[in-house]
């Protein structure tokens, strides 16, 4: 122990370095409360007042994403999302972006398996103009053929470039091997053949049928009141009709649930245990290890979140401490249950130095197997994992954009309004036994697929001793 005198207000105080200071009682935190209403056309409007900084985050969630791509049209939802800001009414794409720039807006379009999200953050004095622009791009995109040709071409070029990005190659190949023809079997960007076959009419049809107010929620968080947003939004989105046609993409009400049931019943392929995408002389192997497991609505959600924290969800997780801090094989390793509306992937991802490929896979699979029972979670690990999730929870609600994203999760996964309030106690109820139970139930080492993007000779050495069989070799052009 080292104790040294230090001056504070003229008094000498001792610094106790013999032990770490214990945190005192936590400060209470009031979670954002959501005000909700529905516009006449069915568009849900959710707002949270958060007036610290004169900023408003607006987010339009459409519960329809890449999983709704029709057969042979992988990439249609993403292309449609990409076309939204490519001109509206008489305005060109550039004019739309000039209008956004004149109000200093941050503007983004995101696409996932289950949703398209168009979002913008602006100074609050521009809220009305931002809502009008948001409506223009989502409801009244021009969807011109010449713009479509350009956007499609850029996306094809992007696909070409992704062939050289090991992480992107790994993600796409992994989804294909896990899900096959299931709606989650392709990345949102789609494939070269599907993009080549796509027409602007596909985009127009998809837009008309999938991007509808009944499938959408407008979320506004910031220096704004619900009534004011409702008034502006009613005006801005007044001519967004409820529509009539329905694609498989429609994701609200009974039809949406029917789509999910039919997708869920589609058989998943039988994945190989080991697959390799050759990348000659690569200095690292990009690895994905996992399988399909439960969806976001599993009652085991909180226990799986805690289990993942301990296994590979934080810096001090078992897998990162092993592969990075003990072995030095990697810059970082992590695992995740990538929860979605339908059965979702559990995946470990890591880039390891090529010479350590087989040993890293052996260690990683060992850690996944061990946490189910052979080396169960200790009370100390549980306390650490739980505390990391709960004690810092307030931090996720600091900015308007963070709150909007948190609220969006409720809308996307049909979570109750008191979800934030119950999160901490639900996490705190998880026990060590429950971690073992849910990991045994939902993760099976014998079913894990291991995918390597790396040098076939150097990374391939010693793979035989993993006992996973011969690797299935995939060429980047085939997925």
Q: Which is nearer to other proteins, 63 or 279 (CB)?
A: 279
Q: Which residues lie below 8 Å from residue 233, measured CB to CB, with a gap of 6+? A: 39, 43, 45, 131, 135, 218, 220
Residue recorded with tokens 């939004």: 233
Whether 433 and 303 have beta carbons less than 8 Å apart is answered as no
CB of 27 to other proteins, least distance (A): 4
Q: Which is nearer to other proteins, 300 or 381 (CB)?
A: 381
d(CA 281, CA 118): 40
Q: Which is nearer to other proteins, 250 or 381 (CB)?
A: 381
Helices (H), 9-115: 76-83, 93-102
Q: Which is nearer to other proteins, 36 or 102 (CB)?
A: 102
Q: Which is nearer to other proteins, 250 or 455 (CB)?
A: 455
d(CA 360, CA 141): 48
Q: Which is nearer to other proteins, 326 or 417 (CB)?
A: 326
Q: Which residues lie below 8 Å from residue 235, measured CB to CB, with a gap of 6+? A: none
Q: Which residues lie below 8 Å from residue 406, measured CB to CB, with a gap of 6+? A: 32, 396, 397, 420
Buried b (16+ CB within 10 A) or exposed e, 128-151: bbbbbbbbbbbbebbbeeebbeeb
CB of 453 to other proteins, least distance (A): 10
CB of 382 to other proteins, least distance (A): 11
Residue recorded with tokens 């029917």: 258
CB of 406 to other proteins, least distance (A): 13
CB of 96 to other proteins, least distance (A): 8
H or E segment to which residue 169 belongs: helix 166-179
CB of 21 to other proteins, least distance (A): 4
CB of 360 to other proteins, least distance (A): 11
Question: How many CB atoms are located within 10 Å of the residue 471 CB?
Answer: 22
Whether 282 and 166 have beta carbons less than 8 Å apart is answered as yes
Distance in Å from the first CA to the final CA of the chain: 60
CB of 107 to other proteins, least distance (A): 9
Q: Which is nearer to other proteins, 331 or 440 (CB)?
A: 331
Q: Which is nearer to other proteins, 263 or 394 (CB)?
A: 394
CB of 388 to other proteins, least distance (A): 5
Buried b (16+ CB within 10 A) or exposed e, 70-93: eeebbbbbbbbbbbbbbbbeebeb
Q: Which is nearer to other proteins, 283 or 373 (CB)?
A: 283
* Strand pairing report for 449-454 and 274-278: parallel
Whether 218 and 233 have beta carbons less than 8 Å apart is answered as yes
């Amino acid at each position: 122990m080292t104790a040294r005198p230090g001056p504070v207000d003229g008094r000498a105080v001792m610094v106790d370095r013999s032990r770490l200071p214990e945190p005192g009682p936590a400060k209470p935190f009031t979670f954002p409360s959501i005000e909700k209403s529905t516009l006449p056309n069915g568009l849900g409007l959710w707002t949270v007042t958060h007036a610290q900084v004169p900023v408003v985050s607006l987010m339009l969630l459409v519960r329809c994403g890449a999983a709704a791509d029709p057969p042979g049209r992988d990439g249609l939802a993403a292309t449609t999302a990409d076309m939204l800001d490519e001109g509206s009414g008489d305005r060109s794409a550039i004019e739309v972006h000039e209008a956004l720039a004149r109000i200093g807006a941050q503007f983004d379009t995101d696409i996932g398996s289950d949703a398209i999200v168009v979002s913008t953050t602006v100074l609050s004095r521009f809220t009305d103009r931002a809502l009008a622009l948001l409506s223009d791009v989502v409801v009244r995109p021009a969807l011109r053929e010449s713009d479509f040709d350009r956007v499609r071409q850029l996306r094809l070029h992007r696909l070409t470039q992704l062939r050289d990005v090991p992480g992107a190659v790994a993600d796409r190949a992994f989804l294909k091997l896990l899900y096959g023809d299931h709606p989650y079997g392709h990345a949102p960007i789609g494939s070269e053949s599907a993009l080549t076959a796509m027409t602007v009419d596909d985009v127009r049809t998809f837009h008309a049928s999938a991007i509808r107010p009944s499938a959408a929620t407008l979320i506004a968080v910031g220096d704004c009141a619900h009534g004011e947003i409702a008034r502006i939004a009613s005006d801005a989105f007044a001519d967004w009709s409820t529509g009539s046609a329905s694609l498989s993409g429609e994701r609200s009400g009974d039809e949406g649930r029917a789509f999910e049931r039919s997708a869920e019943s589609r058989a998943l392929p039988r994945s190989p245990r080991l697959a390799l995408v050759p990348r000659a002389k690569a200095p690292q192997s990009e690895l994905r290890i996992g399988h399909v497991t439960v969806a976001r609505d599993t009652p085991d959600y909180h226990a799986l979140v805690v289990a993942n924290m301990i296994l590979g969800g934080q810096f001090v997780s078992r897998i990162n401490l092993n592969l990075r801090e003990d072995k030095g094989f990697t810059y970082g390793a992590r695992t995740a249950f990538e929860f979605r509306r339908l059965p979702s992937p559990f995946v470990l991802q890591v880039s390891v130095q090529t010479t350590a490929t087989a040993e890293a896979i052996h260690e990683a699979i060992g850690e996944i197997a061990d946490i189910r029972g052979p080396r169960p979670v200790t009370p100390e690990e549980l306390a650490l994992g739980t505390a990391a999730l709960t004690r810092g929870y307030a931090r996720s609600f600091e900015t308007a954009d963070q709150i909007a994203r948190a609220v969006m999760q409720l809308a996307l996964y049909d979570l109750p309004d008191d979800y934030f309030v119950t999160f901490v106690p639900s996490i705190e109820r998880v026990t060590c036994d429950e971690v073992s139970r849910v990991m045994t139930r939902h993760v099976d080492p014998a079913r894990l697929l291991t995918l390597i993007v790396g040098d076939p000779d150097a990374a391939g050495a010693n793979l035989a001793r993993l006992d996973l069989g011969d690797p299935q070799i995939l060429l980047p052009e085939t997925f």
